[in-house]
Amino acid sequence: MSDTGSVMPFFLSEVDNNADFCHRILFISIYGSSCNLFLFLCYTVSMKKVIVDIDNTLWDFASVLWERMRKINPGVPAPEEWTLFDFWRQYCSPREFYTIIKGIHCEQDRFNPYSDAKEFLASLSRLGFYIIIASHREKGTLEPTIKWLEKNDLIFHEVHLSHDKTVLFNDCWAVVDDSPFILDKALELQVLGAGLRVPWNKNGKYMLFDSLAEIYNFLNDKERAISTLTS
Ligand SMILES: [Mg+2]
């Protein structure tokens, strides 16, 4: 848990699934006694989970990706023209593409988050949500990812890096992501979904917004509506 610097030490649990390179890390704060730990676990289990993507959700990944792809193929168009999620296949090989992606993720702490990312996550935390930062990333990128989150005071309770974040959808309340595939899957499973509006997701039936503040307002309104119905 990163939203309070006074919570130390933490318990670390890592599940490594070799089949899909899934690695998941769970931070559970320990307040000094098993009793408090039990109460803390009960509290976190009762919290509503929100899955928050990183790339093109918390920071401008596309601009850095474009810059690096152009070194391989100067003909790669600007992100404004990336109307297909897999546009890159026309311009470089999968090996080249995924090498670039991993390179960026390994240097994550060099890049700044969106200006409203910190407040977005802090606001969700203040509402009582359990925040799972989930990103499609390779092994070896966990440390720079956590370093970046902590360096930029981006509040989170759990980090999930894998090739398939939909495994988290069973018990989550909402997902914030730019991927049309992830947002479609959320729709299919009746999970509340929302994303920043980008060229590659603009044709979907899911909810899109122009800022993280708008996404927060949307989630807040939904949470209030549900709370009213159930109270
Ligand atoms: Mg993304």
Instruction: Answer yes or no: is 122 within a domain.
Output: yes
Count how many domains the chain has. Answer: 2
**Distance between Cα 103 and ligand 1 center (Å):** 16
Indicate whether 133 and 103 sit together in one domain. no
Structural domain boundaries enclosing 74: 61-109
Return the minimum-mean-pLDDT range out of 12-26, 64-78, 95-109.
12-26
Instruction: Answer yes or no: is 31 within a domain.
Output: yes
Q: What is the pLDDT of residues 156-183, one digit of tens each?
A: 999 999 999 999 999 999 999 999 999 9
pTM for this model (two decimals): 0.82
SS (H, E, C) the chain: CCCCCCCCCEEEEEEEECCCCEEEEEEEECCCCHHHHHHHHHHHHHCCEEEECCECCCECHHHHHHHHHHHHCCCCCCHHHCCCCCHHHHCCCHHHHHHHHHHHHHCHHHCCCCCCHHHHHHHHHHCCCEEEEEEECCCCCHHHHHHHHHHCCCCCCEEEEECCHHHHHHHCCEEECCCHHHHHHHHHCCCEEEEECCCCCCCCCCEEECCHHHHHHHHHHHHHHHHHHHC
**Distance between Cα 42 and ligand 1 center (Å):** 31
Instruction: Answer yes or no: is 14 within a domain.
Output: yes
Indicate whether 103 and 145 sit together in one domain. no
What residues pair up with 132 in beta bridges, in sequence order? 51, 158
Instruction: Tell me what pLDDT residue 12 has.
Output: 30
Q: What is the pLDDT of residues 19-74, one digit of tens each?
A: 333 344 444 444 455 555 555 555 555 689 999 999 999 999 999 999 999 999 99
**Distance between Cα 57 and ligand 1 center (Å):** 6
Return the minimum-mean-pLDDT range out of 6-20, 108-122, 200-214.
6-20
What residues pair up with 193 in beta bridges, in sequence order? 175
How far is Cα 21 from Cα 165, in angstroms, rounded to an integer?
12
**CATH, residue 144:** 3.40.50.1000
Q: What is the pLDDT of residues 110-148, one digit of tens each?
A: 999 999 999 999 999 999 999 999 999 998 999 999 999
Indicate whether 165 and 65 sit together in one domain. no
Instruction: Answer yes or no: is 76 within a domain.
Output: yes
Indicate whether 176 and 87 sit together in one domain. no
Indicate whether 178 and 197 sit together in one domain. yes
Instruction: Tell me what pLDDT residue 229 has.
Output: 75
Indicate whether 83 and 39 sit together in one domain. no
By the CB criterion, residues less than 5 angstroms from ion ligand 1 are 53, 55-56, 178
Instruction: Answer yes or no: is 193 within a domain.
Output: yes
How far is Cα 94 from Cα 97, in angstroms, rounded to an integer?
5
**Distance between Cα 19 and ligand 1 center (Å):** 22
**Do the Cβ atoms of 22 and 162 come closer than 8 Å?**
yes
Instruction: Answer yes or no: is 126 within a domain.
Output: yes
Domain final position from 93, 109, 125? 109
Domain final position from 71, 93, 109? 109
Indicate whether 52 and 66 sit together in one domain. no
